[in-house]
Chains A and B, each alone.
Chain A
Amino acid sequence: MSPETAISIRNLSKEYYRAEKSSPFSRKSNKGTGFLAVNDISIDIQKGEVVCISGHNGSGKSTLLKMIAEVTQPTSGEIEIDGKVAAILEIGIGFQPEISGYENIFLSGAMYGLKKSEIEKKIDRIIDMFGFPEFINTPVKYYSSGMYMRLAFSIIVNIEADIYLFDEVTSVGDTEFRTKVTREISRLKSNNATILVVTHTPALFSRISDKFIIFDKGRISISKSIDTRNNMGKINNLPHISEDKLANLKEIHQDNISFDITDVSIKTLAIDMNCIFDEKMDICTTVNYDIDDSVLMLMTINDMLGNIIASSSIEIKIGSATSKEITFEIPSGYLKPSPISLGFEILNNEKKSLVSYPNIISTPYDNNDIWAGYIKMPIKVSER
């Protein structure tokens, strides 16, 4: 391992057994079938890097973090770690509901390995970050969940370590809390700490991350370093629709409609989602259907948080045809390079959503300047 490497993971796997509940009287032992939560992963993380890990539920992100934190043991492979690790797999560990926030700072701090003298030195900073000094002597069971989280978070960012592991710390809390989290993480980064963040909202960390890792079924499906100085449209990795997603598309039967999208293809010169920002793009779909009533097919352009940026729809009427090719043409020059995804939705006459296929295809996370916005609007700037 080179001296610049903080974490070196080699051929790491973790197998879990899917235990099946059997009757307590049945004799046969049921260990269940094994599945690999993390499947043969190798990766090096350099010192001072911020790595953003994303992926579906159950794709193995948290298991990886747990193994680095030594909470659970790998089935095979090896992890080599250089430096002190602070694993924040959950915030608010060790909180006792009946005692005051002030005392809980000491309890929880001790759980994360902070010494009493260290906490005493930082207590003012922690209370200041908490933001509700008048509640510091109140038992934490009377706290609102937001206050609870803020107290817990104020403690963890004051832990001193070389490597930080955060597991979905932003999944709770308001926007203010989220920006606070990212601000604190960038502060830690400026102290040359190595940080691994597991999140479902990678857009939040897009500015401070050096590397993105996307997990899919225990494997790393995309791993990319970001050159923050020059990141626009540089990467030519072609996004594709994973096979299980297509399989999902085919299996939709609801009430009196049977609808399936067999194929989605994007017809441009090069099939590159990055082109969506520069060129006209045709999105072709082949749909098979069996419907009792006419439906509306909606194509949406979403941001990474799932908000709809733009949409367009077409009505599919009952007729003799059971299959159609529908093309959505996205004109050029409207979107700014930003992490976006495409989705489809089928609505009935009352505009009630029957079926939705969000995030069928998405741009790589690399061209990310979410703060610049999504839409190219000709805003005039003038000076006097």
Chain B
Amino acid sequence: MSKIISPDGHIGTLDYLKSIWASRHLAVTLAKGEIKNQSSMNLTGIFLNIIQSLIGLAVYWIVFGVAIGIDTGEISYPVFVLPGIFIWHYFSAITGYCSNCFILSQNLIEKLYFPRICIPLSKVLLGLVDFTIGFVLFVILFIGFGQSFTINWLAFPIIFTMIIICVSSIGLCISFISLFSMDTTRIAAQLTNFLIFITPVFYPDTIIPENFKFILYINPVAGIIEYSRWSLLGAPLPDCKYLIGIALTICLAISIFFIFKKYEKRITDLL
């Protein structure tokens, strides 16, 4: 069994998928190492994340729930807003991590070969820690505020899969762009700050006028948040136009996969 290394660097799709699967442990190890490293650095560790989420929740509750008084129907505001917060937080965290992941792992990339796609994917795993904390917090609040579970909860695994696909493709895109421009980190941070306002994170989509709603429809995160509200809170099924954003994400996921496949061997030299 011999292997040939040649300049064209072409990899078959199946071989590429196999090599990613073979290095799954590596992606998990990278994420694990970083989690351990982070959590051992400060004593508060995991509690800091919970406190952060709670403070964010309290601020949104006071500003949007109490002061502005956004109408969320029968669901009390903190329960309504929490799924939006932890899903949005996941997206913005991954955007941040992926915008400089290749630069931070430059040493590793120059010294070891593994499918480069593992680096942004390990960041997706890393973000799952906060996501899980947010979800557990949500379940506690959900029961605390006396909400009852509905059959729609069974659909959450599908939505969760969508979240992972969407987060991964956005993360991969950002990390790929960062190979060409050092400004990506700053631009990504600015964009996430701005995009939160055109995503129904702390308001229901019903308050958006009909002729502006197209912005939400093409926004994949908006669709995901709306569908998760439907699933977790029993809100009415969102407009099927939200599927546009989700379809766009799937297209993005497939194309970014092939772009990575094409550039796989060249990433070291691009850095």
Contacts and interface: CB of A to CB of B under 8 A. Distances in A.
Contacts, number: 95
A81 interface: yes
A73 interface: yes
A63 to B, nearest CB: 11
B36 A110 contact: no
A99 B40 contact: yes
B67 to A, nearest CB: 42
A148 to B, nearest CB: 15
Interface residues of B, number: 31
A226 B11 CA distance: 39
Interface in B13-46: 25-26, 29-30, 32-34, 36-38, 40-41
Interface in A37-79: 66-79
B4 A80 contact: yes
B110 interface: yes
A82 interface: yes
Given A72-B268, A80-B2, A89 B37 contact: no
Nearest to B110: A71
Q: Which of B33, B37, B113 has the largest number of chain A CB atoms within 10 A? A: B33
B2 A96 contact: no
A1 to B, nearest CB: 7
A23 to B, nearest CB: 15
A99 B33 CA distance: 8
Interface string A69-104: 111111111111110000101100110111100010
Q: Which of A66, A89, A90, A98 has the largest number of chain B CB atoms within 10 A? A: A98
B265 interface: yes
A111 B26 contact: yes
B268 A68 contact: no
Given A69-B113, A71-B109, A99-B37, A110 B26 contact: yes
Nearest to B30: A94
B178 to A, nearest CB: 17
B112 A78 contact: no
A139 interface: yes
A103 B39 CA distance: 14
B40 A139 contact: yes
Interface of A: 1, 66-82, 87, 89-90, 93-94, 96-99, 103, 106-107, 110-112, 115, 139
Interface of B: 1-7, 9, 25-26, 29-30, 32-34, 36-38, 40-41, 107-113, 265-266, 268-269
4 closest cross-chain pairs (CB), A and B? A110-B29, A70-B113, A96-B37, A82-B2
21 contacts: A66-B268, A68-B5, A70-B113, A71-B110, A71-B112, A72-B268, A73-B5, A73-B9, A74-B6, A78-B4, A79-B5, A89-B110, A93-B111, A93-B112, A94-B33, A94-B108, A96-B34, A98-B37, A107-B33, A110-B26, A111-B108
Given A73-B9, A81-B5, 9 more contacts: A68-B5, A71-B111, A73-B265, A79-B5, A93-B112, A98-B37, A99-B37, A99-B40, A110-B25
